Structure 1
Amino acid sequence: MDKLDIKLWSLAAKGQIVPDRSLLKTPDQIEAIKKSAALNTAVLDHVAAHICEGMNTAEIDRLVYDYTTAHGGIPAPLNYQGFPKSVCTSVNNVVCHGIPDENEILKNGDIINVDVSTILDGYFSDASRMFTIGSISGRAAKIVKVTEECVELGLKEAKPWGHLGDIASAINTHARQNGYSVVEDIGGHGIGLEFHEDPYVSYVTPKGSEMVLVPGMMFTIEPMINEGGPDFYVDEKNGWTVYTMDGGLSAQIEYMVLITEKGAEVLTR
C-alpha cells in the first residue's frame, strides 16, 4: 500500500467519499487524453470561426464531423446510445442535447450552446461554448455572462483534497445571487477513458460534500443555468432534447479539467 492508498483509506475511514484508484489517470493516459482534448478545442475554434446568422444547426454538425474526422478523430456523440448527430446544438430555451436540424435556422438574437465531444486514439474529451448570434437582448447577454462566471468560480474551487461539493456550492450560490436556478438532475461526469465515467458531478450540493478531489481525477464542469426554474422536460418525439419547463432561456458552458497537485488544469474549454 503506497502513500496515496494510505491517505485514501484514512479519508474513507473518516466517512469521506473517495475515488476508486481506477478513476485516477496515469501520466501516460493523461498525455493521450490531452491530445484528444487539443483536437476538441480545435473543433470548437473551427465552429467559432464559422457560426453565423442564417446558418442552420445541421451545418454546425457537418463542420464538427468533417473537421474531427479529417484530423483522425471520431465525434463521440455520433450514434452514442442512439444519438443521431456529431454534436449537440442547444438554442435559447433548450437546456442540452439539442439535435442539429436543417430546419433550425440561427437568427439574430439567439444564444446557442455547442457541445463538442471527441474520441482520438480511443481517448475521450468534452467541452462546450455559448455563442451569441447578432445583437442579443440584455437578458440573453446576462445569462451567458453569469454562466461564464459560474464556471470560473467553480473552477477556482476545484482544489486537490477539496470536494466536488465545493465546486457545486460556488456555482449554485452565484447563480442564485443573480436570480437564476441551476438544473438539478443533469450534471457533469468523469471522462477520459470513456465518454461518461464516475463521478457524477452535481452543481447543487453543499460545500464540503461529495467525493474528495484527488490528483489524477478528470471530469467536466458544465452547469446548466436557467432563467426561470430548474425544471425541464424531454422531447417525447426524439427522446433527447431537453427544454426548460417554463420556456425561459438556458445557458451552459463546459470545461474538462484534471485535478493536479497544485489545482485544476483545464484540458479543453
Structure 2
Amino acid sequence: MIHIKSAAEIEEMKQAGSLSKQALRLAGSMVRPGVSTKEIDVAVESFIRLHGAIPTFKGYGGFPGSICASLNEQIVHGIPSPEVFLNDGDVISIDTGATFGGWVGDNAWTFFVGTPSEAVRGLCEVTRDCLKAGIEQAVPGNHLGDIGHAVQQLAEAHGYGVVREYVGHGVGHVMHEDPNVPNFGKKGRGVRLQAGMVIAIEPMITLGTHENHTLGNGWTVVTDDGKAAAHYENTIAITEDGPVILTQDEDGPWLPMQGGQK
C-alpha cells in the first residue's frame, strides 16, 4: 500500500532528512586511510542520538550497525567493523538513516579514500549522475519505469552494470514502504507517480557484472566478479512543483566524493 503524505507531513519529514544528511556528511568527513569503519559507525550513532533521533538501521532486521559501510566490491549492507580499515585507493559507500519525529530520512553516498583509479572514479561520477537523472523523472504523471529507465540508460551507455535485486523504496514512518523503485525499467510502465509520494531513489551500479551474491554474514552484498560498485541515494518527495530532496542540510543535498571533506 502506498502512503500519500500531506504537504505538512512532507515538511515534517525534512527534519529527519536533514539529520540523515548531516550524519552522512559527518561520515564522509572521517573517510581517510587508516580509519576503521567502526569508528565512523560510532561517530554517526552518537551524532544522531545527540540530536534526539534514532539511528534507523541499528537493529533493523538484526543489522548490527548504525551505518552500512560497503567497501569496493561490496554493493550494499556492509557491516561496520573495528577490524576493517580504509586504505588509499578504496571507495566506500556509506548509507545513513535517521528517525526523527516518527519519520525516516534515508540517504547514501560513495566516497573516495585517497586517490581511486580512473576507472572507479568514472563509475562513481556516472552513478551520481544516474541519481540526478532518476530524480528528474520523479514528477506527477510519470511512472516508476521512467525513473528506472533514466538510471539504466545512463549507466549502460557507459558500459556499467545495473543491479536488479536491490532497489529503492517508499519512505515514511518506516524505512521501507511501498512502492519498490527499480533502477531499470521501461518508460510509461509501473506505478503512476502522484504528488505526496515519498521515495528513496538509489542507483547501485557496478564496474563489471551486475550479478551478485551475499556473504556468509547474511548481509553484505558483493559483485560476483569482485569489481567495484557505487551507490548513491536521496529521499525524494514528489510534489506538483517538482521533486523535492528531503535529505539535504544547509549545504544542500550533494556531497563531495572525496573523503575527508565536509
Q: TM-score range by the shorter chain?
A: over 0.9
Distance 1:264 1:228 in 2: 31
Q: Verify the 8 A CA contact 1:126 1:256 in the aligned structure 2.
A: yes
CA deviation profile, 1:2-55 (whole Å, cap 9, x unmatched): xxxxxxxxxxxxxxxxxx5x5110233212211111111111121222221110
Q: Distance in 2 between matches of 1:239 and 1:154?
A: 29
Name structure 2 gaps, 5 residues minimum. 248-252, 254-262
Aligned residue for 1:199? Answer: 179
TM-score if structure 2 supplies the norm length? 0.92
Q: Residue 21 of structure 2 aligns to a residue in which SS?
A: helix
* Letter of the structure 2 residue corresponding to residue 160 of structure 1: P
Q: How does 1:202-241 map to 2 (within 5 A)?
A: 202-236=182-216, 238-241=217-220
* Alignment counterpart, residue 28 of structure 1, candidates 8, 28, 53: 8
| Residue identity matched to 1:127 | N
Q: How many residues align?
A: 248
Cα distance between partner residues in 1 of 2:131 and 2:245: 11
| Correspondence for 1:15 | none
Cross-structure match for 1:258: 237
> TM-score, normalization: structure 1?
0.90
Residue 136 of structure 1: how far off its partner (Å): 1.1
Counterpart amino acid of residue 96 in structure 2: V
The AA in structure 1 aligned to 2:169 is H
Higher helix proportion, which one?
A: 1
**Cα distance in 1, alignment partners of residues 53 and 25 from structure 2:** 15
2:208 aligned partner, one-letter code:
G
For structure 1, the residue ranges without an aligned partner over 5 or more in a row are 1-19
Asked if 2 retains the 8 angstrom alpha-carbon contact of 1:117 and 1:127, the reply is: yes
Contact persistence 1:258–1:265 (CA under 8 A) = yes
Q: Quick one: percent identity of the two aligned structures?
A: 37
Aligned partners of 2:32 and 2:88 also within 8 Å: no
- Larger RCO (CA within 8 A; separation ≥ 6): 2
RMSD: 1.0
Cα distance in 1 for residues equivalent to 2:177 and 2:171? 5
1:250 & 1:134 partners in 2: Cα distance?
A: 17
- Residue of 30, 34, 37 corresponding to 1:54: 34
Larger Rg: 1
Instruction: Quote the Cα distance in structure 2 between the aligned partners of 1:138 and 1:149.
Output: 16
Structure 1 counterpart SS, 2:110: strand
Q: Secondary structure at the residue paired with 1:139?
A: helix
2:155 maps to which of 175, 178, 181 = 175
Q: d(CA) in 1 for partners of 2:107 and 2:215? A: 23
In the alignment, which residue of structure 2 is the partner of 1:143? 123
In structure 2, distance between residues paired with 1:31 and 1:155: 19
Distance 1:23 1:92 in 2: 35
SS across alignment from 1:23? coil
Residues 22-31 or 223-232, more deviating = 22-31
